[in-house]
Structure 1
Amino acid sequence: MAMRPKVHRIEAVRAITVIARRRDKVDDKHRDLLPDAESSDPRDVLDYLRKFSGNDIPLWVLQADVCDALTLNNWLWWEDRRRELHFLTAGRARGLSLAQLGSQVGVGKQGVVDRIDRLEALLRYDRPDEKITRAERRAARASQLHRGEELDWLSRHSDLVRSLTVAVIDHAGQYQLADDEREWIDELAVDLRDEALTPATMVLLGLAATELRTATAVMALASTRPDRVHSTLNRIDALRSRFAALGRAEASHRAFALDSPPPLRASGPIYAAT
């Protein structure tokens, strides 16, 4: 079954407006009962169309009303999904048990968890598949753990990172790099001045090293007699390789787990029959 098209509030407002314009032309008896403000509840507009669409209304108006009514109905469907997700998550945040929530929507404890995950996947990705939301949460947790590992590594190697950063800046001055040759080196200097060592600092260190390595004055050095700058660049390469290796084994393990499909199980519809 095809997914309902998502409808923006602007489209719903437009539908209300065009319905009102059409009814202005053909409905002298009941037009004043039609809500036509941008803030009107689409349900009230739909109720009007259901009640006042008799034989006295031209067929072309009735046909156009149906198309716009379905637009409003689709907007309400998605709004109901957003509203339900809001109150399910609010219930959990306010300490209600899964059993209490489940009794209100006709599902068990696991059904509530599945329902929340499916609604989140539906509203974010247009796919009511709880596995999408759960995979996203696992990835977010893994990313947070990895970032913590990176920050811990930077803390333990901060002196070395700073000394290599200072060396890059000193070499840039020694070889008189022009302003357009040291954009990333200057950015790295700002990080050093602000003492803001983050994983992004290691990216900047790599970009700054590339600027230094490809600077005209450094490229002109005799290759048979390595200079101190070459030693600095080699040490930066080695340090960045060690940093890049953080969590690599863990990432490989996660990739294998994600590639292995979970056991199949029955998955019911999002909404229980009432």
Structure 2
Amino acid sequence: MGVRPKVHREELAGAISRIARRRAAVDDVHRDRLPDAADSDPREVLRYLRQFSGTDIPRWVLQADVCDALILNNWLWWEDRRTELHFLLEGRRRGLFLDQLGAQVGVGKQGVRDRIDRLEALLRYDRPNEKLTRAARAAAKVADQRRTAEDTWIKNHQAMLRDAIAELLEQAGRLVADGEDREWLDELAVDTNAEGDLGRTIMPILGLAVDELRTSPAVLALPATRPPHPVHEALARCDALRGAFAAVTDKPVGRAQRRRSEAIGL
């Protein structure tokens, strides 16, 4: 299994809020049992969805819930990795022997060392390779190099990003009416209309806007067609750009995403 996509805290809050708004409209019986604050425990939200997703809930709501539930699950996957690393490091700082720690996670002494290095590498570079961390102990400049690479990529792809975002917003304007769930789509429009070049923050905002449009009732209600509906093509184009941007910093990119990147000339 590959490494899960990282989820920003804003994406987590957005997914919880979308779930709450959908369920408020269709679930009169159990709605009061859903934790609906933006900072709610995602485990509690997932528990609600698993327990109260029967045939009385419209199909489009169930489909959108799956998309947002996977965002919550990805957040928890990364949170679990952070928690394990925290307590392994705390165990060493508090004087526990390596074999004591290893007994709790099913590895030996060297396995604990490797596990710590692997988790540090995963959380720092999004790749579970302990060798990365060992090499990085003498290379603090990696973070600066990554930021430089990201800035360079965005600078070199300004026109392509603006075209893809304009197409996405055009399709959103046709399918998602004003007043509906389009907080990040509107934010994306503001950022792309601002003077000057697009900055690095455009990429997480684009990701949030893509999630928002993909899980909107109008898009979920569209039938699968050949060729794809224009909104699906716009979403795929943005996914390809996000995949190409992730590859700049050695983040894992799926085979399908890589094919889409190559198809649009990245």
* TM-score, length-scaled by structure 1: 0.50
C-alpha RMSD of the superposition: 1.1
Structure 1 distance, partners of 2:74, 2:80, is 10
- Say if 2:84 is the partner of 1:88: no
Query: CA shift at 1:138, angstroms?
Result: 4.6
Q: Which amino acid aligns with 1:93?
A: R
Report the secondary structure of 1:72's partner residue. helix
Structure 1 distance, partners of 2:75, 2:90, is 22
Query: CA shift at 1:3, angstroms?
Result: 2.2
| Change over 3 Å in CA distance of 1:133–1:17 after alignment to 2 | same
Structure 1 distance, partners of 2:63, 2:108, is 43
- Which residue of the partner structure matches residue 16 of structure 1? 16
Q: Which amino acid aligns with 2:105?
A: V
Q: Which amino acid aligns with 1:119?
A: L
Structure 1 distance, partners of 2:75, 2:28, is 28
Q: Percent identity?
A: 77
Report the secondary structure of 2:17's partner residue. helix
Structure 1 distance, partners of 2:137, 2:109, is 20
* TM-score, length-scaled by structure 2: 0.51
- Which residue of the partner structure matches residue 40 of structure 1? 40
| The structure with more radius of gyration | 1
- Which residue of the partner structure matches residue 126 of structure 1? 126
- Which residue of the partner structure matches residue 244 of structure 2? none
Q: Which amino acid aligns with 1:20?
A: A
Structure 2 distance, partners of 1:96, 1:66, is 41
Query: CA shift at 1:137, angstroms?
Result: 2.2
Q: Give the alignment of 1:59-138 within 5 angstroms.
A: 59-138=59-138
Structure 1 distance, partners of 2:67, 2:30, is 21
Query: CA shift at 1:102, angstroms?
Result: 0.3
Does 66-75 or 129-138 show the bigger shift? 129-138
Structure 1 distance, partners of 2:98, 2:3, is 28
Hey, which bits of structure 1, 4+ residues long, moved more than 4 A? none
| Change over 3 Å in CA distance of 1:131–1:27 after alignment to 2 | same
Report the secondary structure of 2:115's partner residue. helix
- Which residue of the partner structure matches residue 58 of structure 1? 58
Query: CA shift at 1:9, angstroms?
Result: 1.6
- Which residue of the partner structure matches residue 154 of structure 2? none
Residues 117-143 of structure 1, C-alpha deviation per residue, up to 9 Å, x if partnerless?
A: 000000000110001111122557xxx
| Change over 3 Å in CA distance of 1:44–1:125 after alignment to 2 | same
Q: Which amino acid aligns with 1:8?
A: H
Report the secondary structure of 2:35's partner residue. coil
Structure 1 distance, partners of 2:50, 2:102, is 34
Query: CA shift at 1:8, angstroms?
Result: 1.3
Residues 213-260 of structure 1, C-alpha deviation per residue, up to 9 Å, x if partnerless?
A: xxxxxxxxxxxxxxxxxxxxxxxxxxxxxxxxxxxxxxxxxxxxxxxx
Structure 1 distance, partners of 2:48, 2:71, is 15
Give the number of aligned pairs: 140
Query: CA shift at 1:39, angstroms?
Result: 2.2
Q: Which amino acid aligns with 2:86?
A: H
Structure 2 distance, partners of 1:74, 1:139, is 29
Structure of greater relative contact order (alpha carbons < 8 Å, 6+ residues apart): 2
Residues 13-44 of structure 1, C-alpha deviation per residue, up to 9 Å, x if partnerless?
A: 11110000000110000000000012210000
Structure 1 distance, partners of 2:69, 2:123, is 22
Structure 1 distance, partners of 2:32, 2:10, is 23
Report the secondary structure of 2:6's partner residue. coil
Residues 84-130 of structure 1, C-alpha deviation per residue, up to 9 Å, x if partnerless?
A: 10010011011111001000101000000000000000000011000
Q: Which amino acid aligns with 1:111?
A: G
Structure 1 distance, partners of 2:136, 2:72, is 31
Structure 1 distance, partners of 2:37, 2:139, is 44
